[in-house]
Amino acid sequence: MRFSPIPVFLFCFVLSTLTGFTSAAEDSARVYTVFKNLEAKYADKLEELAKWCDEKGLDGQAETTRNWAKPVEPDDEIRVSPLPDQFQEWNQKGKAAPAKTSMAKDSKSDKSAKSGSKSKSKSKKDGKRSRSSGDDDDDAAGNDSSAPFGEWGTGITDDGTVLPPKDPKLVAEWENQFRMIRLNASKDYLKLAKKAVSTGHVTFGFGLLMRTLREDPDCEAARKILGYSKTKTGWVTDFEKMQMKMGNVWHETYGWIPKKFVQKYEDGQRYLNGKWVTAEQDAEYHSTIERGWVVLTGHFEIITDASLEAGVQTGKKLEQMYRVWKQLFLNYYATEQQIRSLFETGSAKFTPIPRHRVLLFKTSEEYVSYLTSKNMYTPGSAGVYVHRRSGKKREGAACFSADSHDDHTMYHEVTHQLFEESCETAPGKGSKQNYWVVEAASTFMESFHEAEDGTLAVGGFNSSRMKGARIYAVNMDQFIPFEEFVLVTGSKWSEKLRNDYYCEACGMANFLVFYDHGRYRDVFGRMLFDVYSGRDTKESLTKLTGADWETLNREYKEYISQDADAIKGYSF
């Protein structure tokens, strides 16, 4: 899998950081030019190498080299690929070590699970981990830098054609040149990242960090910033290190379990209250949410009476979504000082955040009954995030039913939970104005999905809410001007529950994230922080964007009207 390059918007936020210009608009334009020149030089080097491959008859290698320089992220989506678990270092012969997965496999999906269980349970010894088991301090995902070849010396084209073996010496020379070009680029990106962060431009710096890891997934300085530790053969987070220290391994079906239990679990046994029982007996014991299974991941605690397997799968989905959320909303959950400290020393002091609690009920009926008994049920809901305050103590849980199969609702409600529980928030957010931004973030994260190339993606004109926003604004001419929409309070929103509110909030989120290469992307996180902390005003959006209402309305309509033929004839 190839990396998803970081969008060019990141380079537009440097402003006067690198050049000392006085005009923000002039800074943005000139820095964008600097970035384009940097990328052009990098592309030239790759093309020069590709032409050398052409001359030597290395067709597959030439194609791989050219493909590496191509952008693969659409203009309307953010795509994130997991970082490799194991080292991508090259051996002395110049061969790239292929990326490996480390999870113990489910015997139902792998006929050789039992016979291979001994090798599967080597996670602790080899420092292996699951990419979806949850990262303790991983603030964002990078991209998969698997070796571009399968069998050494054979090229693989985009259509899957395996080319015949080439001269090993020529192939090794290509590999070395390809790697050196990337390593040099990685060093340049990391240097710029540290410079940007030291002068306050953390979003730009964080994006450059991702570009650093695109070119060198084993860059120790960049890995350390993301909370990874180096083991003998790979990278682990603090949470994974703790699990391994306790003798646990991550199992794709059963989650974190003791290494010595893997075979018995795959044979249908379960460890319950100090003794081994059948899977059926285990399920009977955990048949109520009060005695449900507890599944721990890096950032979530899932309690469920549906099944252990359902809890693990939910945990994996939420950890994947969490990676994208933390990358997108960096300037919400971390201060500039914390980010500077991370980039300068590789560590920073953060207030510990308890795992986010999720209740997964077996049936919709149980979901309704339980929440009703707690006076927390919202009629007609398929999922909800509920929280209470007792002095400074906050208690919250996202609640869903396993039989609803509604992941979009789960992502929506958990997004509310992440914003509420990741920082100290003020009560009554959106009670005076700007409630739109609370729902904008959640409707935007509803679109989380796995893209066709296997990467994790969010956004897109094809998401249901975004289609709705486009239909209302373009086809039906039902657009609420921003200066009016920001005045909608939380109570009015809850009273009306209008579909056009939710759709326009999603449209505004996409606009802020993607318009003009992400010109306003930083504004989204700052707006959320101001609203959740009670610092917002009616003019917050215009102050943060530097644009008046007329300009914002015009730019929004310009953005949302793209490719209008795709929604032609649709209405509500």
0.85 surpassed by pTM: no
Q: Answer whether residue 1 shows pLDDT above 70.
A: no
Find the range with the poorest average confidence among 78-87, 118-127, 370-379, 562-571. 118-127
- For the chain, which residues make up each domain, given as ranges? 8-80+146-216, 238-422, 436-567
The DSSP annotation for 311-380 comes to HHHHHHHHHHHHHHHHHHTHHHHS-HHHHHHHHHHS-------PPEEEEEESSHHHHHHHHHHTT---TT
The band of 35, judged by pLDDT with boundaries at 50, 70 and 90, is low
How far, in Å, are 14, 43, 61, 469 from residue 312 at the CA level?
A: 41, 42, 40, 34
Across residues 13-38, what is the average pLDDT?
Answer: 46
Across the chain, what does the average pLDDT equal? Answer: 81
Per-residue pLDDT of 79-94, as tens digits, reads 877 788 888 865 333 4
**pLDDT single digits (tens) 534-565:** 999 999 999 999 999 999 999 999 999 999 99
Q: Which amino acid is at 4?
A: S
For the segment 203-239, what is each residue's pLDDT rounded down to a tens digit?
677 777 888 888 899 999 999 988 889 988 799 989 9
Nearest Cα residue to 90 out of 177, 191, 190, 209:
177
Tell me the two tokens of residue 56: 């030597």
pLDDT digit string, tens, across residues 505-541: 999 999 999 998 788 888 898 999 999 999 999 999 9
Query: What pLDDT shows up at residue 389?
Result: 67
Please report the sign of the dihedral spanned by the C-alpha atoms of residue 232, residue 338, residue 436, residue 475: negative
pLDDT value of residue 393: 62
Q: What whole-number percentage of the chain has pLDDT above 70?
A: 78
pLDDT band at residue 502 using 50, 70 and 90 as cut-offs: very high
Selection from 226, 236, 234 nearest residue 140 by Cα: 226
- 149 confidence band (pLDDT: 50, 70, 90): very low
Q: What does the DSSP assignment read for 528-540?
A: HHHHHTT---TTH
